[in-house]
Structure 1
């Protein structure tokens, strides 16, 4: 089958790879109809290169049609249309019983010191082949895949795989009371969905992003949007000098605004793999501009909800400021399966109330994925979200 494979820093290629097969009785094989490029995929494109091997299949936002099921699968049937959560969880361990699916003890990567395995996301998270491919093997198929109807196009459902539950969890963690104000740092796909979910609840939103088209889109959905220049002061000025009640940080380790950290990331990612891994994990090389902005802007006693991905274990944090302001921090990989029952009815409401069908700015055949990664990384051509269609072919 054809799949997008990693071959080096900023080097991804379409290649022929072996078709997936049933390996465990609880597996299913899904024929992929839509798969998206996530902001987290850009970390693999460059920063997290030391955790990848040439030929690794990328992608963790996937949906399609079930083609085959193992003997132990009871909930899915061949022909079901499904969305596949990016978190691989067993559904029955101590953590899963408490709905902390991203910490599943069955798929946890103890040798790496990380949580549950994830599709298409490096040796840190199980080195499981991803979904930017024509087919995908899905472990624990009775737990992960979300069966959806056929009355709406893929993009109404596709984002249930990751970015919509991630946005929802970020908003839940922010815990803004009625009449409160939420700041959103980063108006990429996750940030845009946080805006829409928050406005649906009547929460006032102030969004921050350096890209004019992303600010404009957030404003279309009822946010006030500001550039990163003096953003913290702008948020305080809009809230009687206090700052928002909570701030969602929806950017992560590759935030703009720190050229020194950017250079360090470039150097570290090109070192021999064991040295590079140590540098990433212990060297504190994340670009923290977005996180520092969130900490600065949020009001005293407020909450910073972090959905952006970070890699460094020794990043310097402004502990005096955080302690003095009495902040609460909530963060972590999204427990996708936990939020599906809340989100699926919203997704299926008449009128596409979250604008899911129009969120993607670029829809392309899988064969065009390498160029799409470059466009998305560089934020060119107004790119906000890319959806790849394996069944389309290059024109």
Structure 2
């Protein structure tokens, strides 16, 4: 089978590796339909998170279909469609039963004090092969899988594997409550979802800080207030926005690969700290192998996000840290935090605790995650997708990987789409038009539409294109349908080639570097405030 494999710092490859097998009665083998690239994966390639074994399959996010189960798995059977939580837990120990799945006593081979175990991570984190592969072995599958309803497709479900639960956990750590003013550091995928989670947990204002404009634009689509740290000093800007007080809660979603501002007053304010940050980077990424095109560069200000988190918080405020820091990271402004009576909580997400509730929120329409998957890449393009994501290129906020794009399936006659991707029954007569292959076409968000049309043939795409030209004329959709039709007509549709359609805001040739932006889609509506938390929080547990 094909998989993305880590061979060393700065060296990842798409390799052919053996298919996994059942090793324990509680194992399951899952055929992966969709995986994704996470910032944590980049830490391994950049060298800021050491300890991976050469040959380790990367990735800790997946949606798929159960292929085989061990005799100890009583609640799943072959054919079940599932999302895989990123962290591994037994479901039996006292920590799991209290909701602290990330601190399971039994998942880590190092024993009770081993800490979090997750897919595609270092030996100290369990040494498990990851999920950027065609098949994966899932330990403790009776707990380590969450069933998906037909209505939750891969475009939404992939963000339920890690990104959205981590964001939800971050808002819980920060103790976000009704009316709070919340700052989110980082507008990557976790930061975007953290802004959404803060609103859903009752925040009155959400301020997002980042230095990448297209990511800030995505945050503004969910009506967050934004601060560009390359244009203004984020601490001074937030203080001005809050009457000199600071924010009630901070969610730090950046971690060890933080970047210094390259311009503006914040860059000037940090000029004297350059030598200190360089020393930190040398201690954090002790092995570095930058790529030839500006890839695999460790962050040049490892402690900056933590420093800004403390600076932004009001006195007696709280900070939830979900940005990844390796065990050897030891720089934190503890004295300043003490002086302000801050409460700090951080850690790895207890994914299994939150995912079932979040699946239900997506199913009922209370949560729409499709805007946050901004790129789809086929298996054959996985390494180049890593590079684009690493360079933070325009439009590459979150990358999903279609793991069904394989030569074997092409030879067998093309992709057999999963249950949520099959063409739906037609809905005839809308606006005098012929029947459309997607009955909910007019209501589909752009991200969901981008995913659904990958299973359509040329005739179906042409019909949608004609309907769009004559009726809806939504921003970005004409470009999306036109490009997908072109791909199918040139042999890269469902019966061969890469089924991943480019995002309309960032169409690029894989043989060149041309970036063609298009007008942004319509803004997302803000989520309702104060949606109740039904995550099963154990008695006395604050997170």
TM-score normalized by the length of structure 1: 0.91
Q: Which residue matches 2:3?
A: 3
User: Which runs of no fewer than 5 residues in structure 2 stay unpaired?
Assistant: 261-273, 290-299, 407-496, 499-543
Whether the 8 Å CA contact 1:22–1:29 is kept in 2: the answer is yes
* 1:364 matches 2:377: yes
Aligned pairs for 1:152-171 within 5 A: 152-171=152-171
User: Which deviates the most, 193-202 or 385-394?
Assistant: 193-202
Q: Which residue matches 2:213?
A: 212
Counterparts of 2:356 and 2:284 in 1: how far apart (Å)? 41
Q: Which residue matches 2:342?
A: 327
Counterparts of 2:220 and 2:210 in 1: how far apart (Å)? 12
Aligned pairs for 1:87-236 within 5 A: 87-110=87-110, 114-200=114-200, 201-228=202-229, 229-236=232-239
- Superposed displacement of residue 266, structure 1: 7.7
Counterparts of 2:285 and 2:79 in 1: how far apart (Å)? 47
Q: Which residue matches 1:33?
A: 33
Deviations 1:264-311 (A, max 9, x none): 15861259xxxxxxxxxxxxx980111100101100000011000101
User: Which runs of no fewer than 5 residues in structure 1 stay unpaired?
Assistant: 272-284
Q: Which residue matches 1:268?
A: 286
- Superposed displacement of residue 249, structure 1: 0.2
Counterparts of 2:108 and 2:210 in 1: how far apart (Å)? 34
- Secondary structure (helix, strand or coil) at the match of 1:379 reads coil
Q: Which residue matches 1:239?
A: 242
Whether the 8 Å CA contact 1:286–1:310 is kept in 2: the answer is no
- Superposed displacement of residue 159, structure 1: 1.4
- Superposed displacement of residue 77, structure 1: 1.0
- Secondary structure (helix, strand or coil) at the match of 1:330 reads strand
Counterparts of 1:138 and 1:391 in 2: how far apart (Å)? 19
Q: Which residue matches 1:250?
A: 253
Whether the 8 Å CA contact 1:8–1:49 is kept in 2: the answer is no
Counterparts of 1:113 and 1:377 in 2: how far apart (Å)? 33
- Superposed displacement of residue 172, structure 1: 1.2
Counterparts of 1:153 and 1:32 in 2: how far apart (Å)? 14
Rate the CA distance shift 1:189–1:308 in 2: closer, same or farther, 3 A. same
Deviations 1:16-50 (A, max 9, x none): 11110111111000000000101111111112464
- Superposed displacement of residue 362, structure 1: 1.2
Whether the 8 Å CA contact 1:261–1:286 is kept in 2: the answer is no
Counterparts of 1:248 and 1:292 in 2: how far apart (Å)? 13
Equivalent pairs, count: 381
Q: Which residue matches 1:301?
A: 316
- Secondary structure (helix, strand or coil) at the match of 2:331 reads coil
Counterparts of 1:371 and 1:111 in 2: how far apart (Å)? 37
Rate the CA distance shift 1:314–1:19 in 2: closer, same or farther, 3 A. closer
Q: Which residue matches 2:529?
A: none
Alignment equivalent of 1:346, drawn from 344, 348, 361? 361
Rate the CA distance shift 1:43–1:224 in 2: closer, same or farther, 3 A. same
TM-score normalized by the length of structure 2: 0.67
Rate the CA distance shift 1:335–1:346 in 2: closer, same or farther, 3 A. same
- Secondary structure (helix, strand or coil) at the match of 1:12 reads strand
- Secondary structure (helix, strand or coil) at the match of 1:60 reads coil
Q: Indicate the structure whose relative CO is greater, using CA pairs within 8 Å and at least 6 residues apart.
A: 1
